A and B are shown apart, each in its own frame.
Chain A
């Protein structure tokens, strides 16, 4: 369970998160929508401790992420994240990209790491690309590789930060299909996205962020069919 309590975060004088409260249960899929600069992506990087917070708490399965005593490297094994820019490691083949962290962070044997990597890559449809270098693949394929790389650590939670925003429109579908598959398998996910159809189809709950505040949260039906907050209504009208 991820518990976010009254989280505030500023970049110098700009307050990007103004007291966020959100609890995500095991197995739940929560998507966060909202305009740029609303704090959606910042929240994700705070959840796995890549960014510090100013006040409030984020607790994952009882561990306070931003407590001084927390071993973030250990915590991050449990919380995978995939970014808008997939950040493939260009000097490693697809297989090596996925094997690296299981070997070096989890300390698995080469054979075991390879077995896991092949399984995850096959799972995201890249079983034929094992020996290829990332720059030989499309953005969609690289993004799927990044997802497999995160999954190879067998995380319990996955954070997706606008994973389709940097892709050609024709490549968006294959990545969204991968996310859908994960959601159906019961992965706990928080997805920041601009893909409204996706948000409606896979989410258990949809949160709308506006200027650092979670303006509204509810089931996809509530948010998309009868949004209560005027800002949500405005936003949904503009993206439709």
Chain B
């Protein structure tokens, strides 16, 4: 069992290729967060709108996104929609799947943040002559951002890790996809995936630390 000989050189030689993949990984994750945040804001507005239809759409989205596997969501974006004649490339399907998942979690995060700001804050603003929009923008929103920020960075890390599910729909340009191809050619599974894991770890860690630094500078109270 333990007479396996490691071949790290082979893996390290592929490092530049893998780093190229890591850039794609980060790109998908960032885009999925941008789209996810935009959708989550829309979902939060839907939920507050009082409209049954909009509220229903938002509730269903959040329920499905949070209570089904991310793999299933990405599969549906690629193969599921394919059945209806909507053919998304692996890249797009992966992006759509993760953005869908992000939006569901972030919408819940935003709702929690909104609830965390007491009504009396709005009331205090209104009693100073602010319009309801001013009270929201100047008083509620900045406080919400603080509450929502760190959970949102968790979702960002989660988005980075979720991109690895792209291999299941044929994604071959991101870190997981490239690693998988290198592995298929060389069968140095342990070395390649260990190296990929280190890269994932470093990206995730860097994002977390950057977010913490940002929060420390931004939210001084």
Contacts and interface: CB of A to CB of B under 8 A. Distances in A.
Contact of A50 (B121, B126, B143): B126
A73 interface: yes
Interface string A93-134: 000000011001110000000000000000000000000011
B206 interface: no
Interface in B109-167: 120-121, 123-131, 134, 138-139, 142-143, 146
Given A87-B121, A105-B134, A74 B221 contact: no
Contact of A133 (B120, B123, B221): B221
A217 interface: no
A156 to B, nearest CB: 13
B120 to A, nearest CB: 5
B113 to A, nearest CB: 13
Q: Top 5 A-B pairs ranked by shortest CB distance?
A: A87-B124, A101-B128, A133-B221, A76-B129, A105-B129
B220 interface: yes
Contacts, number: 63
Contacts of B134: 104-105
B120 A48 contact: no
The interface centre, meaning the residue of A90, A91, A101, A146 with most chain B CB atoms within 10 A of its CB, is A91
11 contacts: A73-B126, A73-B131, A76-B127, A76-B128, A80-B127, A83-B123, A87-B120, A87-B124, A90-B221, A91-B146, A153-B129
Given A91-B143, A91-B146, A48 B127 contact: yes
A89 interface: yes
Contacts of A23: none
A57 interface: no
Interface of B: 120-121, 123-131, 134, 138-139, 142-143, 146, 219-221
Interface residues of A, number: 27
Contacts of A146: 124
Contacts of A90: 143, 221
B143 A149 contact: no
A150 B120 CA distance: 15
B128 A153 contact: yes
A178 interface: no
A50 B127 contact: yes
Contacts of B221: 90-92, 133-135
A73 B130 contact: yes
Interface in A138-190: 146, 149-150, 153
A91 B144 CA distance: 10
Interface in A53-103: 73-74, 76-77, 80-81, 83, 85, 87, 89-92, 100-101
Contacts of B121: 87, 89
The interface centre, meaning the residue of A83, A104, A134, A149 with most chain B CB atoms within 10 A of its CB, is A104
A160 to B, nearest CB: 12
A83 B138 contact: no
A77 B129 contact: yes
Given A48-B127, A83-B120, A105-B130, 16 more contacts: A50-B126, A73-B126, A73-B130, A74-B129, A76-B126, A76-B127, A76-B129, A85-B120, A87-B123, A89-B125, A90-B221, A100-B138, A101-B129, A101-B130, A104-B138, A105-B128
Nearest to B132: A73
Nearest to A159: B127
B220 A133 contact: yes
B129 A81 contact: no
Nearest to A105: B129
Contact of B142 (A74, A77, A91, A153): A91
Contacts of B130: 73, 101, 104-105
Contacts of A74: 129
A46 to B, nearest CB: 13
